[in-house]
Amino acid sequence: MADAIISRSISLSLCIFALLFIEVSSASNVTYDSRSLIIDGQRKLLFSASIHYPRSVPAMWPGLVKAAKEGGVDAIETYVFWNGHELSPGNYYFEGRYDLVKFVRIVREAGLYLILRIGPFVAAEWNFGGIPVWLHYVPGTVFRTDSEPFKRHMQNFITYIVNKMKSEKFFASQGGPIILAQVENEYGDIERVYGEGGKPYAMWAASMALSQNIGVPWIMCQQYDAPDPVINTCNSFYCDQFKPNSPNKPKIWTENWPGWFRTFGSKVPQRTPEDIAYAVARFFQKGGSLNNYYMYHGGTNFGRTSGGPFITTSYDYDAPIDEYGIPRFPKWGHLKQLHEAIKLCEHTLLHGEPASLSLGPAQEADIYTDNSGTCAAFIANMDEENDKIIHFRNASYHVPAWSVSILPDCNNVAFNTAKVGFQTSVVEMVPEDLRSSSHTGSKGLQWDMFVEKAGIWGTTDFSANGLVDHINSTRDTTDYLWYTTSLLVNENEGFLGKGTQPILVVSSKGHALHAFVNQKLQASGSGNSSKPTFDFKCPIALKAGRNEISLLSMTVGLQNGGPFYEWVGAGISSVKIEGFNNGTIDLSSSSWTYKIGLEGEHLKIYQANGLNNVKWQSTADPPRISLSHGTRQL
């Protein structure tokens, strides 16, 4: 009996201990007025952090959320990725990195709110903007306009997600963490391009969202005509001058970009912590109520999720938490101090009367005073080059160029956005010295490689007279499509045996290709993020008799946004060979055979259970690609 009592006592103690360290965020009522969101009757000034669950692995989620909370945020924001969840019509997936329910639970247990941007179009530098490729091939479908098939599938998905959240009691109206939901995404800038289908679609999306009865407000970012009660919000580097489209709506910043995404071949984009802090302080100085960092942790575009084209697998975004989950100093620490200073002003900012005071040609103060006489002020120096001594309320303040000083009591400076108090830390990736077994005295490495056959391997998938679109052929099941044809060369052609070579001329809608003649690599070409299409010329080696021309077309992430983006194609559009006795031969309308994907993909050699499916060739050194001829861009 004594043992049982001791056991119960220990169990009770463990439960109490667990409760002390598990904070469960909950709310029962979320509304809004012109000043802010109102949660359980209290106006709230909120900082939010974008962390996309599929861009990190589940084991990282608790640490990421914890680091965000320690950085002073109140909420986590994420998109919902349609093409990651509905793999084919009605076939849903919510496992692994796509376990949305697990992610929301982790946020709830951390004591944070959640902003759910269902979209379901997300852009987000994500493949096809997050919309499933299969939807493009549903007859009569046009994305993001007054298209009945698109609207039907979009509503079905949003309803599915909403019901999934409701079943877990995740909405604040059910006592859960979700305080806002978003429908559509940055549509206002392109609405007019869709003509008569644009505005009706936007209004339908808002009405459909409201019909879901989730009990919390809906938002539409960059949607200038968002109908009441849907809140329109701002996405930009600076949103201090943004005004909602109704005096009854709060000022919300859904995407404050602390950096930018990276494309292949470009420099690493960066944004200083001083500039981010300046933008945030100005936003709250001018009546802002909710600031969300996009991204707070960017993470990684795993698998084939990168959009673009040519967006890198790294989605680090120069965010406050880096790609590997490590706080980035001084950015993370500087913003943490900023949040603390602004939170000191919360009650006064949300309840006080604002007044603006000019203090110079590019200097001003905004003062908030509530009924009790409590005062908070922001002093801004918008001069980008010159520090200023600013006189305010019988005191002098040194305000550096392009900075804001925050005075929670209208007297003492709690924080200045240009004064960074944290040291810079740099994470270095140190390469291992991996030597091959050819080095004497080194244990080294043994390499095995699988050599792909250039051109058609196995059974031909289809044939056609002419060149086909890459995406329409692969339906994005792979990045690779083989185009193969043959060419008969007469023995009397002038280039044979005389040291001259014919010239292969290729035009491509994108994104990259390798050109082979008779199984030998001749040249490679690619576009880039600003111009995915490309042309190239290269000399090739042809022989008398039949020659096999094989072109491997490759995609590097599909379009992720823009008007009618789903109609942007890829693949080879023209193939010619110059230098024949009779001039140029155009192969574009010839008979071509096609093979979708690489043989190694089909054999799944990238998986452990596929390693034994092929014959591997051992080598002491990893293979290197060398071209017999360089390419010349047209």
Distances (CA, A) of 379 to 253, 406, 414: 21, 7, 12
- Cα angle at 37 between 31 and 43, to 5 degrees? 105
User: Cα separation of 266 and 474, whole Å?
Assistant: 28
- Whether the Cβ atoms of residue 307 and residue 124 lie closer than 8 Å to each other: yes
DSSP result, 524-578: EEE--SS---EEEEEE----SEEEEEEEEEE-SS-B--STTGGG---SEEEEEEE
Burial (CB < 10 A; 0-12, 13-18, 19+), residue 129, is buried
Query: What are the E-state strand segments in 342-394?
Result: 353-360, 363-369, 375-381, 388-392
Residues 6+ apart with CB under 8 A from 527: 309, 310, 508, 510, 511, 512, 533, 534
Closest CA to 438 of 300, 573, 618: 618
Closest CA to 453 of 593, 550, 538, 522: 550
Helix, strand, coil abundance in the chain, percent, nearest 5: 25, 30, 45
List the structure tokens of 210: 């409201």
Distances (CA, A) of 567 to 41, 147, 306, 570: 48, 15, 18, 10
**Using alpha carbons only, how large is the chain's radius of gyration in Å?**
29
Closest CA to 281 of 423, 409, 115, 408: 408
- Whether the Cβ atoms of residue 307 and residue 127 lie closer than 8 Å to each other: yes
User: Cα separation of 112 and 422, whole Å?
Assistant: 25
User: Cα separation of 630 and 550, whole Å?
Assistant: 17
Burial (CB < 10 A; 0-12, 13-18, 19+), residue 61, is buried
- Cα angle at 38 between 36 and 43, to 5 degrees? 65
SS (H, E, C) 153-164: HHHHHHHHHHHH
Residues 6+ apart with CB under 8 A from 524: 512, 513, 514, 515, 627, 631
Closest CA to 563 of 204, 256, 129: 129
Closest CA to 353 of 365, 341, 366: 366
For residue 410, the one-letter residue type is C
Catalytic residues: 186, 255
Residues 6+ apart with CB under 8 A from 156: none
Cα dihedral 540, 544, 548, 553, rounded to 10, equals 20
From first CA to last CA, the distance across the chain in angstroms is 89
